[in-house]
Amino acid sequence: MTIAGKVALVTGSSRGIGAAIARELAACGAKVVVHGRDAAALEEVRASVGGLAVTGDVTSASDLAAMRAQIEETLGPVELLVANAGGNPSPPVPVDHMTEATWRATIDGNLTATFLTVQAFLPGMKRLGRGSIVTLSSAAARRAHPKSPIAYAAAKAAIELFTQDLAAQLGPFGIRANCVAPETILTERNRQRIPAALQAQMAAEHPLARLGTPEDVARATRFLISDDAAWITGVILDVAGGAVMPR
């Protein structure tokens, strides 16, 4: 296991995709740090991975600095970083109906959060002379759609280019950066929110005839962040069941 013994931070890992990634990395021997805002859910994941739990606002540089200090004091520098925290705070609306507050909250909660998280943990990776970063995008950023959650899609598309710029900048320091772009994933929330009949309809629209699971994303992330992908950087990996096929 090429990540065994390495310190890994997964932001937004109290549930859903982030929790699945944390468990996958822990199963492969990483020293996993989980992060979130729901204390009870976070503790449940922490107990399952046997690691460290940290809290903080990933849109705040000072909170991230405090998280970094806590992790480095306890475990050492973060070598594996999964910038997963983010989400879509509002349902899709036409662009002329979107409020400025919604736009700013969505951009901050996804793009700014990813930027600040990476920036906070780069010094430790540079001191080590190695590191691996995986950011999270979305199928919403991979194709235009008239009912797209436009602010969320824009933020995630920006994360993709940000990640590729990181790969170009950080390669000489021994640091890789890649991005995972999931399509619809059956997290706990989506299982409750999407009626069973609609789930079946959506699944039928995928070449692989099913929706994704958090574990699908976790396994893809584990590959990209590990030394099994040691000569892969700047890649956007669609975990989409064939629903997204860029040329």
Q: Could you read off the pLDDT tens digit of each residue along the chain, which spans 247 residues?
A: 689 999 999 999 999 999 999 999 999 999 999 999 999 999 999 999 999 999 999 999 999 999 999 999 999 999 999 999 999 987 889 999 999 999 999 999 999 999 999 999 999 999 999 999 999 999 999 998 888 899 999 999 999 999 999 999 999 999 999 999 999 999 998 999 999 999 999 999 999 999 999 999 999 999 999 999 999 999 999 999 999 998 7
pTM of the model: 0.96
| pLDDT at residue 13, rounded to an integer | 98
For the question of residue 152 being annotated catalytic, the response is yes
Burial class (CB in 10 A: 0-12, 13-18, 19+), 231: exposed
pLDDT tens for each residue of 141-198: 999 888 889 999 999 999 999 999 999 999 999 999 999 999 999 999 899 999 999 9
| pLDDT at residue 185, rounded to an integer | 95
Q: Specify the CATH class of 7-187+215-238 in words.
A: alpha beta
Q: Active site residue: 49, 56, 68, 152, which one?
A: 152
